[in-house]
């Protein structure tokens, strides 16, 4: 019997406050459930996002008091649906916050938490600079979630550029790799599609990548193009550049089929690096 699952990515806009963020998410979530979605996936910082100079300054609240997290948990319970909450900001150590993602079950309970590991500290130009680590304390642990339909692996946005994380998740059993993001427009245009397709191909897994769309208050712009990608690397849904719902029905049996055709997850080998190959200075080649 085929293992079918209807997934909906909610392509929300970056909102500067809790109320606006929750209102937009719930409106799309309600429409997605009416359309038959069984798993809803939201972008990074779906609990609110704005910037001040080079710093990301999302509104933050403790987990048990976070209005967006609580509102989404209540929705999941009321509508009997699973939700992958891309991330919200919660207090962290030393006066910083955590960029934390969740999987919420269909009775509104928190099934898992993941703190973003890799910090988005980059300089795209003289004027476009981001220093996530100025406010956010990074996590240190990869996280899997067992659900009734599949094993889900967590990640968030900039994690996408670190393939070892996804390799570990896949080898530990992940069939769906979640990549919620607020990818910048500039880097998204260059790298978003190819990196997400690569993570699916390398690991023989579905990639579900809800990405925020539009301008960020204080500066910056998110790319959109929320994606659902199959284990062969084919894009089966693309959200484009407008807010809305991106959905597809996936066949989870394709994970085992792809891994049987190319069992690379079983072929990793340890190796050492010699000084001659890595440390030698460049030289002319005849």
**Angle at which helices 163-171 and 193-203 pack, to 10 degrees?**
30
Place of tokens 């990608």: 229
Residue 129 forms beta bridges with which residues? Answer: 123
Exposed/middle/buried for 76, CB within 10 Å: 0-12, 13-18, 19+?
Answer: buried
Residues with a known catalytic role: 44, 116, 157
Tell me the C-alpha distance between 201 and 217, whole Å. Answer: 35
Do 68 and 83 touch, CB atoms closer than 8 A?
A: no
Report the length, in residues, of the chain: 286
Tell me the C-alpha distance between 137 and 278, whole Å. Answer: 32
Tell me the C-alpha distance between 272 and 142, whole Å. Answer: 25
Structure tokens at 12: 């929300």
């Amino acid at each position: 019997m085929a293992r079918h699952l209807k997934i909906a990515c909610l392509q929300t806009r970056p909102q500067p406050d809790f109320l606006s963020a929750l209102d937009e998410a719930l409106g799309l979530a309600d429409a997605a459930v009416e359309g038959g979605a069984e798993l809803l996936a939201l972008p990074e910082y779906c609990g609110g996002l704005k910037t001040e100079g080079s710093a990301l300054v999302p509104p933050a609240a403790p987990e048990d008091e976070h209005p967006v997290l609580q509102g989404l948990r209540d929705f999941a319970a009321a509508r009997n649906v699973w939700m992958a909450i891309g991330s919200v900001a919660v207090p962290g150590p030393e006066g910083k916050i955590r960029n934390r993602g969740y999987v919420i079950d269909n009775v509104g309970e928190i099934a898992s938490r993941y703190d973003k590991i890799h910090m988005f500290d980059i300089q795209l130009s003289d004027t476009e600079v981001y220093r996530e680590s100025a406010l956010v304390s990074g996590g240190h642990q990869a996280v899997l979630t067992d659900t009734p339909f599949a094993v889900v692996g967590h990640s968030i946005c900039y994690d996408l550029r670190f393939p070892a994380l996804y390799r570990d998740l896949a080898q530990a059993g992940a069939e769906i790799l979640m990549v919620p993001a607020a990818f910048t427009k500039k880097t998204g245009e260059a790298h978003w599609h190819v990196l997400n397709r690569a993570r699916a191909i390398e690991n023989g897994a579905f990639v579900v990548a809800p990405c925020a769309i539009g301008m960020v208050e204080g500066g910056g712009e998110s790319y959109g193009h929320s994606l659902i990608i199959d284990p062969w690397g084919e894009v089966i849904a693309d959200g484009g550049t407008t807010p809305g719902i991106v959905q597809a029905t996936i066949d989870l049996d394709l994970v085992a089929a792809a891994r049987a055709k190319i069992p690379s997850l079983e072929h990793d080998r340890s190796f050492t690096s010699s000084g001659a190959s890595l440390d030698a200075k460049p030289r002319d080649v005849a």
